[in-house]
Structure 1
Amino acid sequence: MTETFVKERPLAAGSAGLSVGGGTGRGAVTVDENDLWFHDDTMASAEHGFRRVQVTEPGHPYAGAWWPPGHGLGYEHAFVHETKDFLEAIAAGSDPTPSVEDGLRVPATIEKSAAEGSRFTTVEGS
Protein backbone atom coordinates (compact mmCIF):
# COMPACT_ATOMS: atom_id res chain seq x y z
CA MET A 1 0.00 0.00 0.00
CA THR A 2 1.48 3.31 -0.97
CA GLU A 3 -1.21 5.74 0.12
CA THR A 4 -3.55 6.49 2.97
CA PHE A 5 -7.32 6.55 2.82
CA VAL A 6 -7.13 10.28 3.56
CA LYS A 7 -5.81 11.96 0.42
CA GLU A 8 -4.75 15.11 2.28
CA ARG A 9 -2.08 13.14 4.22
CA PRO A 10 -0.30 10.85 1.76
CA LEU A 11 2.47 8.51 2.85
CA ALA A 12 6.03 9.46 2.01
CA ALA A 13 7.15 8.54 -1.50
CA GLY A 14 8.44 4.99 -1.64
CA SER A 15 6.96 4.10 1.75
CA ALA A 16 4.92 0.98 2.36
CA GLY A 17 2.46 1.13 5.21
CA LEU A 18 -0.90 2.09 6.56
CA SER A 19 -2.12 5.24 8.27
CA VAL A 20 -5.23 5.29 10.48
CA GLY A 21 -6.86 7.95 12.61
CA GLY A 22 -9.52 8.26 15.23
CA GLY A 23 -11.13 10.73 17.57
CA THR A 24 -8.27 10.91 20.08
CA GLY A 25 -5.22 9.93 18.11
CA ARG A 26 -3.74 8.44 15.01
CA GLY A 27 -1.06 6.04 13.99
CA ALA A 28 0.90 4.86 11.03
CA VAL A 29 2.79 1.64 10.46
CA THR A 30 5.74 1.48 8.10
CA VAL A 31 6.14 -2.06 6.88
CA ASP A 32 9.59 -1.46 5.47
CA GLU A 33 11.03 -0.29 8.81
CA ASN A 34 8.89 -2.16 11.40
CA ASP A 35 8.02 1.15 13.06
CA LEU A 36 4.82 2.41 14.60
CA TRP A 37 4.29 6.17 14.52
CA PHE A 38 1.78 7.22 17.16
CA HIS A 39 0.11 10.57 17.89
CA ASP A 40 -1.97 10.97 21.06
CA ASP A 41 -4.39 13.89 20.76
CA THR A 42 -5.15 13.73 24.49
CA MET A 43 -1.64 14.90 25.43
CA ALA A 44 -0.95 18.53 26.32
CA SER A 45 -0.49 20.70 23.23
CA ALA A 46 3.17 21.29 24.12
CA GLU A 47 3.75 17.54 23.78
CA HIS A 48 1.79 16.97 20.56
CA GLY A 49 3.59 15.24 17.75
CA PHE A 50 4.20 11.79 16.38
CA ARG A 51 6.53 9.54 18.28
CA ARG A 52 8.34 6.57 16.82
CA VAL A 53 7.92 3.19 18.49
CA GLN A 54 10.27 0.48 17.28
CA VAL A 55 8.14 -2.62 17.44
CA THR A 56 11.04 -5.05 17.15
CA GLU A 57 12.29 -4.49 20.71
CA PRO A 58 11.82 -7.38 23.20
CA GLY A 59 9.43 -5.42 25.42
CA HIS A 60 6.73 -5.39 22.75
CA PRO A 61 4.24 -8.23 22.41
CA TYR A 62 5.48 -10.89 20.01
CA ALA A 63 8.84 -9.27 19.20
CA GLY A 64 10.63 -10.77 22.19
CA ALA A 65 10.02 -14.24 20.75
CA TRP A 66 11.87 -13.52 17.52
CA TRP A 67 15.28 -12.17 16.56
CA PRO A 68 17.64 -9.94 18.55
CA PRO A 69 16.55 -6.28 18.93
CA GLY A 70 16.51 -4.23 15.76
CA HIS A 71 16.04 -7.10 13.31
CA GLY A 72 12.99 -6.67 11.14
CA LEU A 73 9.98 -8.91 11.13
CA GLY A 74 8.33 -9.79 7.86
CA TYR A 75 4.86 -10.27 6.52
CA GLU A 76 4.92 -13.98 7.34
CA HIS A 77 5.45 -13.36 11.06
CA ALA A 78 1.98 -11.83 11.33
CA PHE A 79 0.45 -15.23 10.54
CA VAL A 80 2.38 -16.83 13.39
CA HIS A 81 1.11 -14.10 15.74
CA GLU A 82 -2.48 -14.56 14.54
CA THR A 83 -2.26 -18.32 15.07
CA LYS A 84 -0.84 -17.85 18.58
CA ASP A 85 -3.66 -15.47 19.56
CA PHE A 86 -6.29 -17.77 18.03
CA LEU A 87 -5.03 -20.87 19.86
CA GLU A 88 -4.65 -19.02 23.17
CA ALA A 89 -8.24 -17.75 22.93
CA ILE A 90 -9.55 -21.25 22.27
CA ALA A 91 -7.53 -22.65 25.18
CA ALA A 92 -8.92 -19.91 27.46
CA GLY A 93 -12.49 -20.55 26.29
CA SER A 94 -12.91 -17.03 24.92
CA ASP A 95 -13.77 -15.70 21.49
CA PRO A 96 -10.72 -14.92 19.35
CA THR A 97 -10.26 -11.29 18.37
CA PRO A 98 -10.51 -9.76 15.93
CA SER A 99 -13.63 -11.70 14.99
CA VAL A 100 -15.17 -12.43 11.62
CA GLU A 101 -17.68 -9.67 12.40
CA ASP A 102 -14.78 -7.25 12.97
CA GLY A 103 -13.32 -8.25 9.62
CA LEU A 104 -16.62 -7.71 7.85
CA ARG A 105 -16.70 -4.11 9.12
CA VAL A 106 -13.42 -3.26 7.37
CA PRO A 107 -14.71 -3.18 3.76
CA ALA A 108 -17.84 -1.31 4.90
CA THR A 109 -15.64 1.31 6.57
CA ILE A 110 -13.42 1.72 3.51
CA GLU A 111 -16.37 1.90 1.12
CA LYS A 112 -18.19 4.48 3.26
CA SER A 113 -15.04 6.59 3.59
CA ALA A 114 -14.40 6.43 -0.17
CA ALA A 115 -17.99 7.43 -0.90
CA GLU A 116 -17.58 10.46 1.38
CA GLY A 117 -14.41 11.79 -0.20
CA SER A 118 -11.91 9.59 1.69
CA ARG A 119 -12.49 11.39 4.96
CA PHE A 120 -12.86 10.06 8.50
CA THR A 121 -16.20 8.30 8.87
CA THR A 122 -17.93 6.39 11.62
CA VAL A 123 -19.54 3.08 10.80
CA GLU A 124 -22.36 1.74 12.96
CA GLY A 125 -21.36 -1.17 15.14
CA SER A 126 -17.70 -0.19 15.33
Structure 2
Amino acid sequence: MVIFVGDCPSRLNKDPEVAFIGSKSEEVLRNWIEKINPKEAVLTNSHTSLLLLRLEVSSNLGDAIVALGNVASKRLTKAGIPHFKLPHPSPRNRLNNDQKFIDGELKKCKNYLKGKGKCV
Protein backbone atom coordinates (compact mmCIF):
# COMPACT_ATOMS: atom_id res chain seq x y z
CA MET A 1 0.00 0.00 0.00
CA VAL A 2 1.10 3.58 -0.68
CA ILE A 3 0.12 6.20 1.89
CA PHE A 4 0.01 9.80 0.66
CA VAL A 5 0.49 12.13 3.64
CA GLY A 6 -0.58 15.76 3.88
CA ASP A 7 0.03 18.18 6.73
CA CYS A 8 -3.45 18.82 8.20
CA PRO A 9 -7.09 18.73 7.08
CA SER A 10 -8.32 21.58 4.92
CA ARG A 11 -11.33 23.44 6.24
CA LEU A 12 -12.98 22.37 2.96
CA ASN A 13 -12.51 18.65 3.65
CA LYS A 14 -15.81 16.79 3.52
CA ASP A 15 -14.51 14.31 6.09
CA PRO A 16 -11.65 15.25 8.47
CA GLU A 17 -10.72 11.56 8.67
CA VAL A 18 -9.97 11.37 4.92
CA ALA A 19 -7.31 13.77 3.69
CA PHE A 20 -7.89 16.05 0.70
CA ILE A 21 -11.44 14.91 -0.16
CA GLY A 22 -13.40 18.07 -0.94
CA SER A 23 -10.35 20.34 -0.85
CA LYS A 24 -9.00 22.30 -3.81
CA SER A 25 -5.98 19.96 -3.85
CA GLU A 26 -8.11 16.87 -4.44
CA GLU A 27 -8.25 17.06 -8.25
CA VAL A 28 -4.50 17.64 -8.60
CA LEU A 29 -3.72 14.78 -6.23
CA ARG A 30 -6.12 12.40 -8.00
CA ASN A 31 -4.35 13.23 -11.28
CA TRP A 32 -0.95 12.53 -9.73
CA ILE A 33 -2.08 9.22 -8.23
CA GLU A 34 -3.47 8.18 -11.61
CA LYS A 35 -0.10 8.94 -13.26
CA ILE A 36 1.89 7.15 -10.55
CA ASN A 37 -0.51 4.18 -10.67
CA PRO A 38 0.10 2.56 -7.27
CA LYS A 39 -1.41 -0.86 -6.59
CA GLU A 40 -3.31 0.61 -3.62
CA ALA A 41 -3.40 4.18 -2.29
CA VAL A 42 -4.60 5.77 0.94
CA LEU A 43 -4.72 9.46 1.91
CA THR A 44 -4.00 10.73 5.42
CA ASN A 45 -2.55 13.67 7.33
CA SER A 46 0.33 14.06 9.78
CA HIS A 47 -0.97 16.69 12.20
CA THR A 48 -1.30 14.48 15.30
CA SER A 49 1.11 12.18 17.11
CA LEU A 50 -1.40 9.32 16.78
CA LEU A 51 -1.38 9.65 12.99
CA LEU A 52 2.42 9.72 12.99
CA LEU A 53 2.48 6.56 15.12
CA ARG A 54 0.14 4.84 12.65
CA LEU A 55 2.42 5.90 9.79
CA GLU A 56 5.48 4.56 11.61
CA VAL A 57 3.77 1.19 12.13
CA SER A 58 2.61 1.12 8.49
CA SER A 59 6.13 1.91 7.28
CA ASN A 60 7.58 -0.85 9.47
CA LEU A 61 5.04 -3.27 7.97
CA GLY A 62 6.26 -2.43 4.46
CA ASP A 63 3.90 0.29 3.30
CA ALA A 64 5.45 3.10 1.24
CA ILE A 65 4.97 6.66 2.47
CA VAL A 66 4.77 9.72 0.18
CA ALA A 67 4.83 13.15 1.84
CA LEU A 68 2.87 15.91 0.14
CA GLY A 69 4.72 19.14 0.81
CA ASN A 70 7.42 20.41 3.14
CA VAL A 71 5.39 20.41 6.36
CA ALA A 72 4.41 16.74 6.07
CA SER A 73 7.94 15.80 5.00
CA LYS A 74 9.51 17.59 7.98
CA ARG A 75 7.13 15.87 10.40
CA LEU A 76 7.90 12.46 8.90
CA THR A 77 11.64 13.13 8.96
CA LYS A 78 11.46 14.26 12.60
CA ALA A 79 9.56 11.05 13.45
CA GLY A 80 12.18 8.96 11.61
CA ILE A 81 9.71 7.68 9.01
CA PRO A 82 11.27 7.03 5.58
CA HIS A 83 9.33 8.62 2.75
CA PHE A 84 9.42 10.18 -0.70
CA LYS A 85 8.56 13.88 -0.89
CA LEU A 86 6.32 15.39 -3.57
CA PRO A 87 5.30 19.06 -3.71
CA HIS A 88 2.01 19.90 -2.03
CA PRO A 89 -0.84 19.51 -4.58
CA SER A 90 -2.42 22.84 -3.65
CA PRO A 91 -3.38 24.99 -6.64
CA ARG A 92 -1.63 27.87 -4.81
CA ASN A 93 1.71 26.02 -4.97
CA ARG A 94 3.62 27.72 -7.79
CA LEU A 95 5.73 24.60 -8.40
CA ASN A 96 2.59 23.04 -9.86
CA ASN A 97 2.67 25.60 -12.69
CA ASP A 98 5.79 23.91 -14.11
CA GLN A 99 4.40 20.73 -15.69
CA LYS A 100 7.87 19.53 -16.71
CA PHE A 101 9.03 19.72 -13.08
CA ILE A 102 5.90 17.94 -11.81
CA ASP A 103 6.21 15.19 -14.43
CA GLY A 104 9.83 14.68 -13.36
CA GLU A 105 8.87 14.45 -9.67
CA LEU A 106 6.05 12.01 -10.44
CA LYS A 107 8.46 9.85 -12.44
CA LYS A 108 10.94 9.82 -9.52
CA CYS A 109 8.12 8.92 -7.15
CA LYS A 110 6.93 6.09 -9.40
CA ASN A 111 10.49 4.71 -9.57
CA TYR A 112 10.77 4.94 -5.76
CA LEU A 113 7.50 3.02 -5.38
CA LYS A 114 8.45 0.45 -8.04
CA GLY A 115 11.61 -0.23 -6.04
CA LYS A 116 9.40 -1.01 -3.05
CA GLY A 117 7.08 -3.21 -5.15
CA LYS A 118 4.15 -0.84 -4.64
CA CYS A 119 3.62 0.37 -8.19
CA VAL A 120 2.48 -1.27 -11.41
TM-score bracket for the superposition, by shorter chain length: under 0.3
Bigger radius of gyration:
1
TM, length-normalised to structure 2: 0.26
TM, length-normalised to structure 1: 0.25
Higher relative helix content: 2
